Amino acid sequence: MQLQGKKIIALGERDGVQGSAIAECARSAGAEVVLETTYCFV
């Protein structure tokens, strides 16, 4: 699986890894983030 050049949806969760953090990781790997969100079930 290669992230470089891929379009990514970052689906984060407050009690885990937040969407913004996933998006930063994906961008650093050369991916394009098309949607980032963080869910909270509390």
Partner 1 sequence: MLLGTPNAESSRLYAMTVTEGDPSWAGALAGVTLGLPVYHVMEEPVKTQVAPEVYEEHVALMEMVLEAADIANAVQEVRTNSGQHA
* Pairwise CA distance, residues 31 & 7, whole Å: 6
CA distances in angstroms from 16 to 1, 4, 20, 32, 40, listed in the order given: 23, 24, 12, 22, 10
How far apart are CB 11 and partner 1 at their closest, in Å?
5
How far apart are CB 34 and partner 1 at their closest, in Å?
11
Q: Interface mask (CB under 8 A) for partner 1, residues 1-40, using x and -?
A: xxxx---xxxxxx-xxxxxxxx-xxx-xxx-------x--
Residues at the interface with partner 1 (CB under 8 A):
1-4, 8-13, 15-22, 24-26, 28-30, 38
